[in-house]
Amino acid sequence: PIRSGSRSSKTFKPKKNIPEGSHQYELLKHAEATLGSGNLRMAVMLPEGEDLNEWVAVNTVDFFNQINMLYGTITDFCTEESCPVMSAGPKYEYHWADGTNIKKPIKCSAPKYIDYLMTWVQDQLDDETLFPSKIGVPFPKNFMSVAKTILKRLFRVYAHIYHQHFDPVIQLQEEAHLNTSFKHFIFFVQEFNLIDRRELAPLQELIEKLTSKDR
């Protein structure tokens, strides 16, 4: 039964939809089809003749939606009390700054941090000058650096879920879903060198475990 009034009864943030009939929609369908083959290394490769920016854009939107859903399942366990700081294990703590509204990094609880983070990502994805949805509208020169920042930050949500909330993930039987999503994400960022190795350190062992079987 869905408890009304609880955050888990609704998706954490509204899903970002790629317009049907658009080229990006076709790319998303292609991505989904190749994922079905089970070979994630192949699935993340740039399809022949496609634009790298567009491929990165479509997949970034898709990862945002996936992480949104995954985090949405455990929001009841991620509270001001349980997670007073945004961390990924004892060695890694994140402070929030977006460079515009909050210039100096602030220490905040994990739910607050993730709310800031996902709202910030959503604002980027909704910005037509950054993520053009219309055919023929070019991507801006700084697109890749923005995409890298988005993916670096989305990684932190995976890292927090794995380190602080893995038990509820197992109880909810979401473990396979989380692992597949994260593995897809890691293969993608590795393929195009989108996240600095240092940033991946909190989940290094897991990354090695998940990717070693598919070399």
CATH number of the domain bearing residue 173: 1.20.140.30
pLDDT above 70 for 191: yes
Q: Which residues are annotated as a binding site?
A: 78, 83, 160, 165
Question: Is residue 148 included in any domain, yes or no?
Answer: yes
| Residue range 133-162: mean pLDDT, rounded | 94
Query: What pTM was estimated for this model as a whole?
Result: 0.90
Show the tokens assigned to 211.
């990717």
Q: Is residue 5 part of a domain?
A: no
Instruction: Tell me whether residue 63 is in a domain.
Output: yes
> Residue 207 sits in which domain range?
23-31+39-212
Whether 108 and 86 have beta carbons less than 8 Å apart is answered as: yes
Query: Looking at the domain assignment, is residue 16 inside a domain?
Result: no
Residue 66, in any domain of the structure: yes
- Confirm whether 9 is domain-assigned: no
Contacts of 109 (CB under 8 A, 6+ apart): 79, 80, 83, 84, 85, 86
Encode pLDDT of 61-103 as tens digits: 999 999 999 999 999 999 999 999 999 999 999 999 988 889 9
State the binding site for Zn(2+).
78, 83, 160, 165
C-alpha–C-alpha distance, residues 67 and 179, integer Å: 12
17 domain-assigned = no
Higher-confidence residue: 110 or 3?
Answer: 110
Domain membership flag for residue 135: yes
> Which of 38-42, 198-202, 206-210 has the lowest average pLDDT?
38-42
Q: How many domains does the chain have?
A: 1
